[in-house]
Amino acid sequence: MVDVGGQRSERRKWIHCFDNVNMVLFVVAMSEFDQGDPEDETQNRMIQSQQIFKTIVQSDYFKNASVVLFLNKFDIFQEKIKYTSLKKCWPEYNGDDSVEDCTKFLQKQFQRCVPNRQKYFAFVTTATDTNNIDLVFGSAVAHIVNQNLKATGLHE
């Protein structure tokens, strides 16, 4: 597992290292929909996360990989969305400001980046909720095991 967060200048250095990856696990902080990037306040953090996500899932290095998106920090997002519209990040958003509609919109925004050839799974998570994380991570691990068994011909 590799954490690819951090400074923008470092990101381009790692993508070529991941040939034959089976699965991409990508974590996005939902709570950052209204925050700027510390390196460049004109850039929105969530839009930036989506751009990085798109670069990864559309890269030839990951063309055969399944994609698992974790929309994390849902608990904080639920509170923030009461006071700040999702339109701050996505002016084209035309739904209401309910948590459900905003969450569905975010899921669709990221899903649109994933090529149809790839398997895609999205989970809304709160990392501090250990039961939630255990369930979600268990599902991801089961998928990885099944993919590896299929690759070896031991599972259909």
Tell me: is residue 94 an annotated ligand-binding position.
no
74 is in an annotated binding site: yes
129 is in an annotated binding site: no
Is there a binding annotation on residue 22? no
Element (H, E) at 124: strand 120-124
Determine the Cα–Cα distance for residues 24 and 18; give it in Å rounded to an integer: 10
- 40 is annotated as contributing to ligand binding: no
The answer to whether residues 126 and 74 touch, using CB atoms and an 8 Å cutoff, is: yes
Consult the annotation and say whether 7 binds a ligand. yes
148 annotated as ligand-binding: no
Strands 120-124 and 36-37: unpaired
Distance CA 2, CA 89 (A): 27
Are 71 and 106 spatial neighbours (Cβ–Cβ below 8 Å)?
Answer: yes
Q: Is 138 annotated as a binding residue?
A: no
95 annotated binding-site participant: no
72 is in an annotated binding site: yes
* Sequence ranges of the binding site for GTP: 3-7, 72-75, 127
* Sequence ranges of the binding site: 3-7, 72-75, 127
